[in-house]
Amino acid sequence: MVTARELVEKGPNRLSLGGDTAGDGLAPANLFILLGCRAWPEERSIVKPNLRIKSIGTKVSEDEYAQLERAAQKSAKTLGEWCREVMLASANGQSAKLNGMAPEANAVMAEVVALRTILLNVLFKLANGERLTPEEMQRLIDRADSDKVRKARERLDQATHSKQS
């Protein structure tokens, strides 16, 4: 039988027990824990990682769950990992990444899509020998601005799906 003093003085790697257990069926490390010590003396200086021990839960509908699953899959993460990332980003005052991209990249993509829409429409009219009035130009700009975020998301989703295929 190993005494508590021998256990503390010799540590887990230097005890000779003639087997894996200490007389009563406990491994030396388990016996040490039962004695009320948190770690072996030589391990007390090791910094333990910040363990995730708290849990957050919420109820969602079937449709919402499917939507969350799709968003997680787009980011190539599990649903739990994705939700954790989104919640922490929100708590830290940051926007979560959409389509695996930073919000700034999504904004730039939306502007490029709007610019493309305007440019193609203007070039088409000019190629057909038509002139654009200021009112027509403003309508083109308004239409491009109203659709730019949706179209940018569609393009980014298409690019994401083609990468995964």
Q: What is the pLDDT of residues 9-59, one digit of tens each?
A: 665 555 454 544 444 455 555 555 555 555 555 555 566 677 888 889 899
- pLDDT value of position 24: 46
Strand-pairing partners, residue 26, are 22
CA gap 82, 106 in Å, rounded: 18
Residue 23, by phi and psi: left (phi above 0), alpha (psi -120 to 50) or beta?
left
Alpha carbons 29 and 120: distance in angstroms, whole number: 72
Which pLDDT tens digit goes with each residue over 140-156?
999 999 988 888 888 87
Query: What proportion of the chain, given as a percentage, has pLDDT over 90?
Result: 31
Predicted local confidence at residue 151, as pLDDT: 87
The C-alpha angle with vertex 39 and arms to 38 and 44, in degrees rounded to 5, equals 115
Q: What does pLDDT average to over the chain? A: 76
Q: Residue ranges of the domains in the chain?
A: 4-43, 61-96, 99-165
